[in-house]
Structure 1
Amino acid sequence: MSDSPHSHEAHGLAGKLAGGFIDSKLTPLVVVASVLLGLFAVIMLPREEEPQIKVPMIDVMVAMPGATAKEVEERVTSPMEKLLWEISGVEYVYSTSRAGESLVIVRFKVGYDQETALVRLNQKLQSNFDRIPPGVTAPLIKAKSIDDVPILALTLHSDRYDPVTLRRLAAELEDAVKQVADVAETTLIGGQHRTILASIDPAKLAARNLSLAGIVPILQQANRQYRSGEITSGNTDVLIESGAFLHSAEEAGEVVLGAFGGKPVYLRDVAELSDGSDDPDHYVLFGHGAASGEVGGEENAVTLTVAKRPGTNAISLAEKVLAKVDALKGLVIPDDVEVTITRHYGETAAEKSNELL
């Protein structure tokens, strides 16, 4: 028996190390430091619903104007699918063919490098450009990743505003949200763009020796703004711009299309003008379900989606965006326009990460 309570003569290297920690006065400090580092790591750990898994996906879009869906499939989609399958690392190829357009989605294996995938796909397509059928445009290539999935969706809805006004309000809100750090991409879904509608009278055009093909370039030139140059005075540079955009039907009516009988011919002389809206790409309506207990019909709506930059904490970013939106209520967002959170990945990510912790 040894007189020392911590004798380690019968033990090897591991026993000597353990004994050293047992007898050392620094051991409590090391334990406390380890606990603090662990807590700091838990707090700073990025939390998100979609994990950072590398799964490269690339969209290849090709246009073939005037072709039917069957012609697009036979002449564009099917040959391109076979070509893309030859690329090393490709796991799946999905395709959609419709009149005048072809979309092929290439998905690479999990963990495959995104840049390598893009380079190899571009090389494969460029080396086969000579096989593109007549009438087919060059392919448009867009890379996709898990970070392109929006973490937040805000729906602006009201029963007092039309789709054009809601779209304008949502666009102003989008500009403000883009200023939040770590916001990667924002998208507006729904609503309508304001446009000036001109219903041309062919008889009035012909009576003034004008044609539709001749007045289109004139209207395009009238609705443009150019940077003409700069004037430098001292330490100040003054930007000179010429031209202006048309803001109303009245302004559009003042555009001069030509001359006839010694008098100018205005657009209002040959067309009926009105303020209107374009055809919507998406129809977005908002309504409460029976479980909400609120009775009401569907309201016009526009949805703003927000995606984050890679590696950003989804929870903290969502909180920053929502704080920004709350600050703009009553300023950019009128009191009679409601903002409803229709997607919140930061909230669900917090719930799942808390379960793990």
Structure 2
Amino acid sequence: MNLSEPFIRRPVMTAVLTAAVIVFGVIAYRRLPVNDLPTVDYPVINVFAGYPGASPETVANNIATPLERQFMQINGLELITSQSSQGTTSMTLQFALGKSIDAAATDVQTAISQATGALPVDLPSPPSFSKTNPNDAPIMYIALTSESVTQGQLYDYGSTQVGQRISILPGVSRVNVYGTKSAIRIKADPSAMWARGISVDDVAAAVRNGTSSTGAGQLDSSAGTAVLQPQGQLVTAADYANLIVGGKEGAPVYLRDVAKVKDSVQDERVNMRFWVRGYNVPSATVIVAVNRQAGANAVEVSKSIRAVLPIIGAELPGSVRVTPIYDRSQSIV
């Protein structure tokens, strides 16, 4: 008796079994995840640290160098690439392929903790790190552009109506919005401050105290109890301009008397430009990056995002244009 004998004696069973293999094979094939790269954990970690106001040389000497000395003691580290710029430094750590990405992340966290004593004491926040993997690159970039909406307002649209709507789609892991947030900028006038006897600390204290949300107590009487509600967080530049920062000769000194207050963005140096043939360069641009979940079908995720973009565009103001500018799934199919 050989292997083929039972299949020859039972042709009906052979036909049914062959058909079942074909059917289940087709079903399994349609459910296979589709991606342009294999699922591999590359042991690469990015480290980032910010030191606002410092020159590239100061950042390199006081932050990058102490961190590099600690990182060089990690086993399995093959390459360190660092770049220091105005107020920031970023480093890329590449480990041997045999080293686990989780073990590398633990070693990096330990090295950062050991280097804390050698870093500037006024560093706003400790260095942070993230795992890097080519598979984690965004599968789609979406541009939000407008001629009339401000840069800060467009960022709010991208992080709320666009980002939150896309993040709940099946297969989407996270949505990052690149732009600059709305902010109130206060530019002090040294001459006006000196004439009124106001210092920078006075202005900072007035802004801090005027925008804090704290309990103010309550008033009790025979008629009842009234809870006092402080002014709380201010919203517009006009609200900030009416803050009292001090007094001179019995008269209050308002913030508008010693500084210029305007609605702006957190970082005025961020200026994104987006150009499409046939359109003028918009005055405001925000980029939305969409990442897929591990193992998710990149083609299906891209299709679901494109299907929901017209719905999102209809909910936004008419002056906001939603344009997909990069789709990684197009290189797969």
Pair in the same fold by TM > 0.5: yes
- Please say if 1:187 is aligned against 2:176: yes
User: What is the correspondence of 1:205-224 to structure 2 with a 5 Å cutoff?
Assistant: 205-224=193-212
Alpha carbons of structure 1 residues 20 and 348: separation in structure 2 relative to 1, 3 Å? same
Contact 1:254–1:266 under 8 Å retained in 2: yes
Q: Which residue of 2 aligns with 1:61?
A: 48
The 1-side partners of 2:192 and 2:71 are apart by 54
Alpha carbons of structure 1 residues 162 and 254: separation in structure 2 relative to 1, 3 Å? closer
- Please say if 1:22 is aligned against 2:5: no
The 1-side partners of 2:189 and 2:178 are apart by 35
The 2-side partners of 1:303 and 1:176 are apart by 15
Give the drift of 1:313: 1.6
Alpha carbons of structure 1 residues 275 and 69: separation in structure 2 relative to 1, 3 Å? closer
Q: Which residue of 2 aligns with 1:329?
A: 313
One-letter amino acid of the counterpart of residue 193, structure 1: K
The 1-side partners of 2:144 and 2:85 are apart by 32
Residue among 295, 307, 317 paired with 2:291: 307
- Please say if 1:342 is aligned against 2:325: yes
Contact 1:94–1:106 under 8 Å retained in 2: yes
Q: Which residue of 1 aligns with 2:71?
A: 84
Alpha carbons of structure 1 residues 250 and 134: separation in structure 2 relative to 1, 3 Å? closer
User: What is the correspondence of 1:1-357 to structure 2 with a 5 Å cutoff?
Assistant: 8=1, 15=2, 17-24=3-10, 25-62=12-49, 69-70=56-57, 72-73=59-60, 77=64, 80-81=67-68, 83-98=70-85, 101-110=88-97, 112-126=99-113, 132=118, 138-171=126-159, 172-190=161-179, 192-225=180-213, 243-280=231-268, 282-289=270-277, 294=278, 296-300=279-283, 301-331=285-315, 333-349=316-332, 351=333
Alpha carbons of structure 1 residues 45 and 282: separation in structure 2 relative to 1, 3 Å? farther
Contact 1:62–1:136 under 8 Å retained in 2: no
Any gaps of 5 or more consecutive residues in structure 1? 1-7, 9-14, 230-239, 352-357
The 2-side partners of 1:129 and 1:273 are apart by 37
One-letter amino acid of the counterpart of residue 313, structure 2: K
Give the drift of 1:303: 1.4
Contact 1:151–1:307 under 8 Å retained in 2: yes
Contact 1:147–1:307 under 8 Å retained in 2: no
The 1-side partners of 2:104 and 2:57 are apart by 29
Give the drift of 1:105: 1.1
Contact 2:46–2:130 under 8 Å retained in 1: yes
Contact 2:67–2:115 under 8 Å retained in 1: no
The 2-side partners of 1:189 and 1:281 are apart by 14
Any gaps of 5 or more consecutive residues in structure 2? 218-227
- 3-state DSSP of counterpart to 1:287: coil
Give the drift of 1:314: 1.4
Alpha carbons of structure 1 residues 281 and 261: separation in structure 2 relative to 1, 3 Å? closer
One-letter amino acid of the counterpart of residue 250, structure 1: A
The 2-side partners of 1:78 and 1:258 are apart by 44
Greater mean deviation of Cα atoms: 27-36 or 75-84: 75-84
Alpha carbons of structure 1 residues 179 and 260: separation in structure 2 relative to 1, 3 Å? farther
The 1-side partners of 2:302 and 2:216 are apart by 42
One-letter amino acid of the counterpart of residue 28, structure 2: A
Contact 1:178–1:186 under 8 Å retained in 2: yes
Structure with greater Cα Rg? 1
Give the drift of 1:73: 4.4
Give the drift of 1:345: 1.3
The CA RMSD measured in Å over matched residues stands at: 3.3
Contact 1:63–1:136 under 8 Å retained in 2: no
- 3-state DSSP of counterpart to 1:245: coil
Give the drift of 1:99: 5.2
The 2-side partners of 1:264 and 1:303 are apart by 44
Give the drift of 1:255: 1.9
Give the drift of 1:178: 2.4
Q: Identity rate of aligned residues, in percent?
A: 22
Alpha carbons of structure 1 residues 225 and 322: separation in structure 2 relative to 1, 3 Å? farther
Give the drift of 1:127: 5.1
